[in-house]
C-alpha cells in the first residue's frame, strides 16, 4: 500500500543536502496559532488519509464474505402464486360422439330384464371443463443444500477478513513512519534555527568588536569587511533555513489536510531497545507484514483443502407445497412432497486434479513469501540496530568535538582580545563551533528518529 509519495518522504534528506550544517541559521517566527505535537500529527494522518479510508472500506466489503458463505447453509424459502381470469370457460361436449354408445346401453335394458337383472343406469354426459374462467395456482418450497467444502470456505472468509485488517494495519504503520520522518525533519530544522540564531549573534558581536578596534586604529578595514561578510552569510543562511522550514511545513500540512499555521515541539525520547532479539521476537508475533504473510499461507492451505473436499457428496433436501385449480381433471387440490437428493461428483473431466496441483503450487509460493517476510523483517531490524550504533558513535564523536570546539573558541577569543591572535583564527573557530553544534543537534535527533523507527518495526506506531 503506497501511502506517501517518495518525493515527500525524501524531502527532509533533500533539505539537509541543499542547506548543509556549516551554513545554517534561522530566525524565530513571530507567532504561530498552535503547537502541533507528533501524536496529533499521526492521529490527523490516520484519520484523514484517503487511501487508508479506501482500504478500510475494502476491508468492510471483505467482512460480507462470511455472511455469503453462511447463507449457503440456511434454508431457502420460495413462495409463488398465479391468478388468471378469462372472459369465459372453455368446455368440451362429447354427447354427439357418444350417442351410439348410449343407444347400445338402452337396447340392453329389455335383455337384462328378461334375465331378471336390473336394467343399466341412465347415462348422461355433461360438458367437460377444459379451462375455468378463474384459475389459480399457489405454493411454496423450503430447501436446504449442504456442501462439505463450504466449511473450508467459511474459515477462508474469516481469514480473508483478518488478512485485510493486517494489511490495513501495515498501511497505518507505514503512514506513521512517514509522518514521524517528516515531523523529525521539521524539529531538526527548528533546532538548527536555534543554533543558527546563536551563530548570528556571535557574528554580530564579532563585528561590533572589530568595528570598535577599527575606530581605535587597532585593526584594518579588511577585518571589518571580513566580519561584515561573515555576518551577511549567517543572515543569508537564516533566510535559507527559514524558507526550508516553511516549505517542508507546507508539504506536511497538505499531507495532514490542515492549515500550515503550526509550529513543532521536540518530542519525548522514544523507547530504546537494547537487544535486537527482543524486537525480532515482537515483530514475528505482531508485525502486520509477517502476520499477513502467515494468514496468506493459511488461506493457500485452505484452498488446497477446499479442492480435496470437492470430492465429497452434496446433500439436498426440499419440501414443496402446491395448491392449484386448473382443469376439471385436476380440480382444486392441495399437494405436498419431500425430496431428498445426494449428488456425488466422481469425475468432472479432471478439472479438480488440475486445481489441486494449482493450489499446491500456490501454497508453496505462500510459504516462500512468509519466509521472505520473516527474513526481510529480521534484516530490517538488524540493519536498523547497526545504523543506530553508527549514530551513537557519531554522536559521541560529535560531542567530543563540541567540547574541543568550545575550548578552541574560548582560547581564540581570549588570544584575539589580547591582541596576539588574528581575526581569521577567531572566525575559523566560530565557524568550526557552529558546524559542530549543528552536527550534534542533527545526530541527536537522527538517533531519536532511529529509535522511533526501531519501535515501529515491532508492529506498532510510536505515539509520545
Tell whether the model's pLDDT for residue 328 goes beyond 80: no
* Mean pLDDT confidence for 176-195: 93
Q: How confident is residue 73, by pLDDT bands cut at 50, 70 and 90?
A: confident
Q: What is the pLDDT of residue 105?
A: 59
How much is the average pLDDT of 260-287? Answer: 92
289 near 172, Cβ under 8 Å?
no
pLDDT tens per residue, range 380-399: 999 999 999 999 999 999 99
Name the strand (E) or helix (H) holding 92. Answer: strand 90-92
C-alpha cell of residue 141: 418450497
**Model confidence at 190: pLDDT above 80:** yes
Residue 137 half-sphere exposure, CB side, CA atoms within 13 Å?
8
Stated pTM of the model: 0.75
Instruction: With CA atoms as reference, report the closest residue to 388 among 457, 286, 459, 462.
Output: 457
pLDDT at position 196: 92
**pLDDT, greater one: 419 or 75:** 75
**pLDDT, average across residues 21-35:** 50
Residue 420 binned pLDDT confidence (cut-offs 50, 70, 90): confident
Hey, is 361 helix, strand or coil?
A: helix
How far lies 148's CA from each of 63, 143, 246, 302, 358, in Å?
Answer: 22, 17, 63, 13, 21
* Alpha-carbon gap, residue 172 to 176, rounded angstroms: 6
State mean pLDDT over 34-60.
90
Would you state the pLDDT for residue 219?
A: 83
170 within 8 A of 288, measured Cβ to Cβ: yes
Spatial distance between the Cα atoms of 47 and 29, rounded to a whole number of angstroms: 29
Query: Burial letters for 138-148: b for 16+ Cβ neighbours within 10 Å, e otherwise?
Result: ebebeeebebe
Query: Which CATH architecture group holds 6-75+148-313+350-456?
Result: Up-down Bundle (1.20)
Distance CA 437, CA 201 (A): 15
pLDDT at 43: 93
DSSP conformation class of 122: P
Average pLDDT over residues 24-38: 61
Give the C-alpha separation, 310 to 148, whole Å. Answer: 8
**Extents of the domains making up the chain:** 6-75+148-313+350-456, 90-127
**Per-residue confidence (pLDDT) for residue 402, from 0 to 100:** 95
Return the pLDDT at 28: 44
Return d(Cα 120, Cα 288) in angstroms, integer. 95
Percent pLDDT > 90 in the chain is: 52
Q: What mean pLDDT is predicted for residues 192-217?
A: 90
End-to-end CA distance of the chain: 25
* Model pLDDT for residues 426-446, shown as the tens digit of each residue: 899 999 999 999 999 999 999
Q: pLDDT of 80-90, one tens digit each?
A: 888 877 777 77
- What tens digit of pLDDT does each residue of 117-128 get? 665 555 556 666
Q: Residue 32 pLDDT more than 70? A: no
Mean pLDDT of 189-196: 92
β-pair partners for 263: 35
145 forms beta bridges with 316
Percent of the chain with pLDDT over 70: 83
**CA–CA distance, 335 with 326 (Å, rounded to integer):** 14
Q: Tell me the average pLDDT across 138-166.
A: 90
What is the radius of gyration, based on Cα positions, of the chain? Answer: 45
Torsion of CA 324, 326, 332, 337, to 10 degrees: -40
**What confidence score (pLDDT) does residue 6 get?**
38
Quickly state the pLDDT bin for 93 (edges 50, 70, 90).
low
Q: What does the pLDDT read at residue 121?
A: 59
Q: Above 90 in pLDDT, residue 296?
A: yes
Amino acid at each position: 500500500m503506497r501511502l506517501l509519495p517518495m518525493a515527500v518522504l525524501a524531502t527532509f534528506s533533500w533539505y539537509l543536502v541543499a542547506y548543509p550544517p556549516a551554513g545554517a541559521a534561522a530566525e524565530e517566527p513571530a507567532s504561530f496559532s498552535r503547537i502541533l505535537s507528533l501524536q496529533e500529527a499521526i492521529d490527523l494522518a490516520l484519520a484523514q488519509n484517503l487511501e487508508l479510508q479506501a482500504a478500510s472500506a475494502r476491508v468492510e466489503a471483505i467482512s460480507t464474505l462470511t455472511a455469503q458463505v453462511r447463507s449457503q447453509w440456511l434454508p431457502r424459502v420460495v413462495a409463488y402464486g398465479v391468478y388468471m381470469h378469462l372472459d369465459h370457460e372453455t368446455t368440451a361436449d362429447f354427447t354427439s360422439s357418444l350417442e351410439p354408445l348410449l343407444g347400445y346401453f338402452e337396447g340392453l335394458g329389455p335383455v337384462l330384464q328378461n334375465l331378471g337383472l336390473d336394467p343399466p343406469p341412465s347415462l348422461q354426459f355433461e360438458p367437460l371443463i377444459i379451462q375455468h374462467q378463474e384459475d389459480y395456482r399457489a405454493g411454496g418450497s423450503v430447501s436446504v443444500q449442504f456442501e462439505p467444502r463450504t466449511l473450508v470456505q467459511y474459515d477462508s472468509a474469516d481469514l480473508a477478513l483478518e488478512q485485510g485488517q493486517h494489511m490495513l494495519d501495515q498501511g497505518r504503520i507505514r503512514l506513521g513512519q512517514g509522518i514521524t520522518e517528516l515531523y523529525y525533519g521539521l524539529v531538526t530544522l527548528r533546532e538548527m534555527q536555534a543554533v543558527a540564531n546563536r551563530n548570528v549573534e556571535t557574528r554580530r558581536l564579532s563585528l561590533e568588536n572589530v568595528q570598535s578596534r577599527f575606530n581605535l586604529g587597532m585593526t584594518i578595514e579588511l577585518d571589518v569587511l571580513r566580519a561584515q561578510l561573515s555576518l551577511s552569510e549567517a543572515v543569508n543562511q537564516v533566510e535559507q533555513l527559514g524558507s526550508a522550514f516553511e516549505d517542508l511545513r507546507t508539504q506536511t500540512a497538505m499531507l495532514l489536510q490542515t492549515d500550515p499555521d503550526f509550529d513543532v515541539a521536540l518530542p519525548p525520547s522514544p523507547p530504546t531497545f537494547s537487544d535486537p532479539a527482543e524486537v525480532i521476537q515482537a515483530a514475528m508475533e505482531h508485525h502486520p507484514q509477517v502476520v499477513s504473510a502467515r494468514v496468506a499461507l493459511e488461506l493457500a492451505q485452505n484452498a488446497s483443502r477446499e479442492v480435496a473436499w470437492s470430492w465429497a457428496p452434496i446433500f439436498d433436501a426440499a419440501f414443496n407445497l402446491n395448491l392449484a385449480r386448473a382443469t376439471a381433471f385436476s380440480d382444486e387440490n392441495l399437494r405436498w412432497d419431500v425430496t431428498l437428493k445426494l449428488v456425488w461428483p466422481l469425475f468432472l473431466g479432471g478439472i479438480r486434479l488440475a486445481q489441486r496441483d494449482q493450489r499446491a503450487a500456490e501454497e508453496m509460493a505462500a510459504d516462500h513469501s512468509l519466509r521472505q517476510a520473516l527474513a526481510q523483517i529480521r534484516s530490517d531490524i538488524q540493519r536498523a540496530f547497526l545504523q543506530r550504533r553508527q549514530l551513537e558513535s557519531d554522536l559521541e564523536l560529535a560531542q567530543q568535538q563540541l567540547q574541543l570546539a568550545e575550548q578552541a573558541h574560548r582560547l581564540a577569543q581570549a588570544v584575539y582580545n589580547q591582541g596576539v591572535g588574528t581575526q581569521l583564527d577567531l572566525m575559523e573557530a566560530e565557524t568550526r563551533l557552529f558546524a559542530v553544534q549543528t552536527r550534534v543537534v542533527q545526530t541527536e535527533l537522527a538517533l531519536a528518529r532511529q529509535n522511533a523507527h526501531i519501535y515501529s518495526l515491532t508492529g506498532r506506531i510510536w505515539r509520545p
